[in-house]
Amino acid sequence: MSTVSTRSPAPVKRSFTAGASEYLNDRTGIAVAIKGLGRKAFPDHWSFLLGEVALFSFVVILISGTFLTFFFQASMAEVHYDGSYVPLKGVEMSVAMASTLDISFDIRGGLFVRQMHHWAALLFVAAIGLHMLRVFFTGAFRKPREINWVFGFILFVLAMAEGFTGYSLPDDLLSGNGLRIIDGLVKGMPIIGTWTSFLIFGGEFPGTEIVGRLYSLHILLLPALLVALIGVHVVYVFIHKHTQFAGPGRQPMNSVGPPILPIYAAKAGGFMFIIWGVISLIAATFTINPIWNYGPYDPSPVSAGTQPDWYIGFADGALRLIPPGWEFVWLDRTWSFNILVPLIAIGIFLVLVVAYPFIEAWVKGDHREHHIADRPRNAPTRTAIGAAGVTFYAGLWAAASSDILATHFSLTMEGVIHALQAVTVIGPFVAYFITKRVCLALQKKDREIVLHGYESGRIVKLPGGEFIEVHQPLDEYERWRLVSQESYEPLMLRPNSRGKITVGQRVRASLSRWFFEDRIAPVTKGELEASHSAHH
Amino acid sequence: MAQDDHSGSEVAAADSSHAAQDFAGSTGTAVIPYDAFENPGFEPHRPRVTDEEPKREKRAQRTVYTLFYLSVLGSVWAIAAYMLFPIESNDVDAVRLNNMFIGFGATLALLGIGFGAVHWGKSLMTSAESIDTRHPIASSEATRAGAVEVFRQADEESGFSRRTVIRNSLIGALLVFPLPAVVLFRGLAPQDELPVPLLSHTMWKKGTRLALDPSGVAIQASDVTIGSVFHVIPEGLNDLEQGRLEEKAKAAVLLMRLEPNELNPAPGRENWGYDGIVAYSKICTHVGCPVALYEQHTHHLLCPCHQSQFDVANNCEVIFGPAKRPLPQLPIAVDDEGYLVAQSDFTEPVGPSFWERN
Amino acid sequence: MTRTKRRTGRRHPLATVALLALGLVFTGGAYAALSSGTVAQAEADPTSQETIEQGKKLFQANCATCHGLAAQGTGTGPSLIGVGAAAVDFQVGTGRMPMQMQGPQAQQKPPQFTDEQVKQLAYYVASLGPGPEIPADHLANGGGDAANGAELFRVNCAMCHNVAGAGGALTEGKFAPALTDVSGVHIYEAMVTGPQNMPVFNDLNISPEDKRDIITYLKYVQDNRSPGGFELGSLGPVAEGLFIWIFGLGAIVAITVWITAKSN
């Protein structure tokens, strides 16, 4: 793109872009990054974009949040509201609440930015959840990505914490009652409870400190951790390269997809703007967190339908599902199992989630790197465990809306709670059983299709009078997708070098049996030839 | 003897599609059949309609730049909406219009770029795929050995593993140095107050009048008719200069009147009510929400947070939900002007349970 | 060959339809013109003996089976002596009474009686014993302090009816209804009489001016749409969460499928 000046034999005149690039490269050496990364392949599947949904909504949160910090004041000093919303005029409230009302009613576009911020937050956590489910069900947490799974889990927890601290900032009736519940939860913890509550709130509840402290967490500490961990999380994706689904030409040791520049950049960059646009559309048309209806926090009033934001719902639901009376006094102390049991159950659930990759790796003993994503049906036990986990979470989540379920479906709240207790406790086992059987059946179906082709819908009458449906055999490309999966056997117990079978090995063997006892192996070349010769 | 299963050496075919040996490590319990299918390689490239028909390509091109121009329109619209929809009139509907029109402009601006860029990428950019080679994540043996050598040399030069006293005292110092910082956080709570005594007492005292929430006007016994529920605070709460909400969070009370023969007071509490008027703490004994829903005929109190239910006729014992302890009762009487007064503070801590409560 | 228009002597195919339409318009119009004057929407006079007699007849025909011939109460319905005109105006005016079926929650349904008949019933029951009266216009039509009303509403009403009047659940299948479509008069009467399991808020608990303020606040909520856009039922985070998962993520997943699909 350089032009030569025709006037004199002066130095070649270069384009602006070329000049600027050279200036930058002389000072940073950035060309090596462009050369290395610019044409990297990025495997293309819709489910691989879910992490990006989370990332791009996080960008919206950061930018809209920064705008809000210029107007929000995180002080609990009392003031009489003097803004333009009539039903709150003259009402005594904290400065935090008053400034949030000012953002909503007295700053042009303020309500729009506030709604973008809150809707993007809901979308952020939802996208993380869906992304995590995709990673789980495709086994993308296997070596070398176990550490990234752990970081992702930590990001999920941090995102929930960001959301909780964020919606508690306006000091309104809804979030204030949420803080009250947290305070009650903390107080119920053995030994450290009352002191922890005292430290968090700076004395008795509600105190005058909590909004300021949550603000520091919300705009300083937690975003810093989030940004740092997201950075690490994405760098890992570059180092490991993204997984890809099995397909013609896709090998464990290659990575196939559109190059980063220009196609992937166009698609991903465009997707970023689309996510922003979707959030913007929702914020322009749907109300979220109408704090003007809730009014300022006061320990006496409460609204019907008091729920936390959706991602805290599973914890609130767990509290609602505990039957009456799970608390007693023993050795002069109060043991509140109605609070401890939900905490412990959720704690165990979370530990199982974060530890799952390590458990599965131990059971399988497979130390290879895995870069081909599994189809969920090809890992039946894992998929069934995931379905059970989702059912458990869903039961807890649904319980958080037990009163709304009752009014909207004309049920008794007692009936709803009893039904959800059953769903949460028994449901996972039912879901496990059904999912496992469905996966195995789907694998059998895949085998059928490989061996006999798929039903083409053409009916042919044979000379002997018999009707048959013509089965269309698969071409080698279609067939590859159905036969390329890995299959595992249960571990055979053998004594170690000292002639003993350790307890660890026994546990591993029984887990291995549970995982792989029922298995459908993919069709091999030999089987296909055998079935063909059987037919002809 | 291998207590494991299929190590790499048992795999019969060196099949490139199951490149187990490319990535070091045993295959565990994986089954690798000797006659598995091989990867058929890439499918033949299928051209797009925009590659084959110039007319379609032109149409796609037009779509892309139209979308980008629409985006510009959207941005202009958003700025115009900011100016054309003022909200200074104290009218809520003006805010709604402002929100909606700025929002629509922003949406058009963003979606225009987004859909335009994706459509460009999908239909116009060359559709060939890139193929990268993956390398084992683990470093090569040489690199690993080099790293080990670095540490070995550093260890030799510093004497780190040799000088055990230095090493152990350093570890000790590093473990302990953050502790003062942790201790500083004790300052989050007041130094001169203890939580348990504060939790165990409220503002109610002998003779404190029951007053309406939020106005603070005192209540006479004759005001409270059958089927009523009064939301109550101690008289004088509204005059507190500090700690008003903290006191209210313990002292909020519900006042109800039932027929005397419907009440079953616990032994010793027969005179805690007055002619069927009873007062109970409003703070739920589960985790502290206000138990505010009163059903006049069933005499049930319902907490909206986790659906604990309390029976007023039976000392507010728990009849459903995750709470355990009944709501504490405030003993009340009538003073000589007919106003309802407390006989004393609550006889137990109000609100959620805590460890030291006994 | 040209087509000639011939008069066949037959009727136009639409002639019958036109005749029927004309007939309907005539008879309907005549009825409307002639009958509008005869059914007077008379205001029932609370003091007139005729009102009370009419009310008594209506009562005995529609209410006495459950409430007794003298409104003294039976096993299936409580005594109405002393409930006042306000209670009857509320219960019958909102269609809750006559009750759809026995139970602790009287379901709201289309009112069975005209306004005049409702008043006649109300004044008849009021004549049996003193009780809360139908509120005066200046108390039931708003025009008070919305901020005071909002604060009182939050303390006394929001726990059952929700801060925006969207309604809420009570125990054992009962519910507090939404208040978004209720008239000021009925709101006042409900507060002062405590229908079904709703508590009684007598005038010493919430004064008539305070009740007027509460009605003013509810009218403000009824009359003003949310500045943020659609309210999703004012149900709070549950509705917002459902919306973002189903419509937000749903739309976005559909878009991801489009983005990664092979171009045509």
Chain B interface includes C227 (CB < 8 A): yes
SS3 of B211, please? strand
Question: Are A442 and A361 in the same domain?
Answer: no
B25 confidence band (pLDDT: 50, 70, 90): low
Give the pLDDT of residue B2.
40
Residue among C117, C147, B170, C11 at smallest CA distance from A85: C147
Q: Which of A322, A344, A374 is the last residue of a domain?
A: A374
Mean pLDDT of B308-314: 97
> Could you tell me if residue C256 is inside a domain?
no
Strand partners, A405: none
A273 to B114: CB separation less than 8 angstroms, yes or no:
yes
Q: Whole-structure pTM over 0.80, yes or no?
A: yes
C43 confidence band (pLDDT: 50, 70, 90): low
Q: Which of A348, A374, A400 is the last residue of a domain?
A: A374
Question: Are C59 and C103 in the same domain?
Answer: yes
SS3 of A95, please? helix
Q: Which of B4, B27, B35, B39 to mutate to test the interface with A (most CBs of A within 10 A)?
A: B39
Question: Are C212 and C143 in the same domain?
Answer: yes
Q: What's the gap in Å between the CA of A392 and the closest CA on chain B?
A: 19
**Helix ranges, A298-412 (H):** 313-321, 337-364, 380-399, 402-408
Give the pLDDT of residue B52.
83
Q: Which of C151, C228, C260 sits opposite A49 (nearest CB)?
A: C260
CATH of the domain at C76: 1.10.760.10
Mean pLDDT of C60-81: 92
User: Count of B–C CB contacts within 8 Å?
Assistant: 91
Give the pLDDT of residue C11.
76
Q: Which two tokens stand for residue A263?
A: 């196609």
C86 confidence band (pLDDT: 50, 70, 90): very high
Domain interval for residue C181:
137-223
Neighbours of chain B (3+ CB pairs under 8 A): A, C
Mean pLDDT of B176-184: 96
Give the pLDDT of residue B5.
44
Q: What is the CA radius of gyration of chain A?
A: 29
> Could you tell me if residue C233 is inside a domain?
no
Q: Which of A330, A345, A374 is the last residue of a domain?
A: A374
Mean pLDDT of B204-218: 96
Q: What's the gap in Å between the CA of C208 and the closest CA on chain B?
A: 14
Q: Is the pLDDT of residue B19 over 70?
A: no
Domain interval for residue A499:
436-535
Q: Which residues of B touch A399 (CB under 8 A)?
A: none
Give the pLDDT of residue B14.
35
> Could you tell me if residue C164 is inside a domain?
yes
> Could you tell me if residue A412 is inside a domain?
no
Question: Are C98 and C150 in the same domain?
Answer: no
Residues 6+ apart with CB under 8 A from B121: A258, A262, A263, A264, A265, A266, A267, A270
**Residue B47 CB: number of other CB atoms within 10 A?**
9
Q: Which residues of B touch A178 (CB under 8 A)?
A: none
Give the pLDDT of residue B128.
79
What is the amino acid identity at position B349?
P
**By the 8 A CB rule, do A324 and B323 touch?**
yes
B7 confidence band (pLDDT: 50, 70, 90): very low
Q: Chain centroid to CA A66: how far? A: 24
Q: What would the pLDDT profile of B131-165 be if each residue is shown by its tens digit? A: 988 888 888 999 999 999 999 999 999 999 999 99
Q: Which residues of B touch C160 (CB under 8 A)?
A: 292-293
Question: Are C143 and C110 in the same domain?
Answer: no
Percent of chain B at pLDDT exceeding 70 = 93
Percent of chain B at pLDDT exceeding 90 = 78
Residue among A407, A428, A430, A403 at smallest CA distance from A417: A403
Q: What's the gap in Å between the CA of B145 and the closest CA on chain A?
A: 21
Strand locations in B179-234, DSSP E? 210-212, 229-234
Asked whether the bond before A262 is cis by omega within 30 degrees of 0, the reply is yes
> Could you tell me if residue C111 is inside a domain?
yes
Number of domains in chain A: 2
CATH architecture for residues B198-342: 3-layer Sandwich (2.102)
CATH of the domain at A156: 1.20.810.10
Q: Is the pLDDT of residue B188 over 60?
A: yes
Question: Are C85 and C156 in the same domain?
Answer: no
Chain A interface includes B177 (CB < 8 A): no
Q: What's the gap in Å between the CA of A359 and the closest CA on chain C?
A: 30
> Could you tell me if residue A396 is inside a domain?
no
**Residue B17 CB: number of other CB atoms within 10 A?**
16
> Could you tell me if residue A27 is inside a domain?
no
> Could you tell me if residue C251 is inside a domain?
no
What is the amino acid identity at position A172?
D
Give the pLDDT of residue C8.
60
Number of domains in chain C: 2
Note which residues in 200-239 of chain B have CB less than 8 A from chain A: 213-214, 231, 233
> Could you tell me if residue C145 is inside a domain?
yes
- Cα separation, A420 vs A216, in Å, equals 37
Chain A interface includes B187 (CB < 8 A): no
> Could you tell me if residue C7 is inside a domain?
no
Q: Which of B96, B214, B309 sits opposite C227 (nearest CB)?
A: B96
**Helix ranges, B12-140 (H):** 49-52, 54-84, 92-119
> Could you tell me if residue A424 is inside a domain?
no
Question: Are C53 and C100 in the same domain?
Answer: yes
Question: Are A203 and A323 in the same domain?
Answer: yes
Q: Is the pLDDT of residue B33 over 90?
A: no
Percent of chain C at pLDDT exceeding 90 = 73
- Cα separation, B55 vs B60, in Å, equals 9
Name the region of A42 (left: φ>0; alpha: ψ -120 to 50; beta: rest): beta
Compare B130 and A431 and report the one with higher pLDDT. Answer: A431
- Cα separation, A17 vs A19, in Å, equals 5
Q: Which two tokens stand for residue B122?
A: 């999908």
Q: Which of A323, A366, A484 sits opposite B28 (nearest CB)?
A: A366
Chain A interface includes B183 (CB < 8 A): no
Question: Are A325 and A199 in the same domain?
Answer: yes
Residue among C213, A15, A234 at smallest CA distance from B215: C213
Mean pLDDT of B81-99: 92
A484 to B39: CB separation less than 8 angstroms, yes or no:
yes
Q: Which residues of B touch C152 (CB under 8 A)?
A: 214
Chain B interface includes A369 (CB < 8 A): yes
Q: Which of C146, C229, C241 sits opposite A86 (nearest CB)?
A: C146
Residue intervals in chain B for CATH 2.102.10.10: 198-342
Question: Are A340 and A462 in the same domain?
Answer: no
Q: What averages of pLDDT result for each successive group of 10 residues across chain A (536 residues)?
A: 52 82 92 87 93 97 98 97 94 97 96 98 98 97 96 98 97 97 96 95 95 97 98 94 92 89 92 97 97 96 96 97 94 94 97 96 92 94 97 97 95 96 97 97 94 90 92 89 90 87 92 92 88 72
Question: Are A487 and A348 in the same domain?
Answer: no
Q: Which of B100, B290, B296 sits opposite C194 (nearest CB)?
A: B296
Q: Is the pLDDT of residue C1 over 70?
A: no
Asked whether the bond before B214 is cis by omega within 30 degrees of 0, the reply is yes
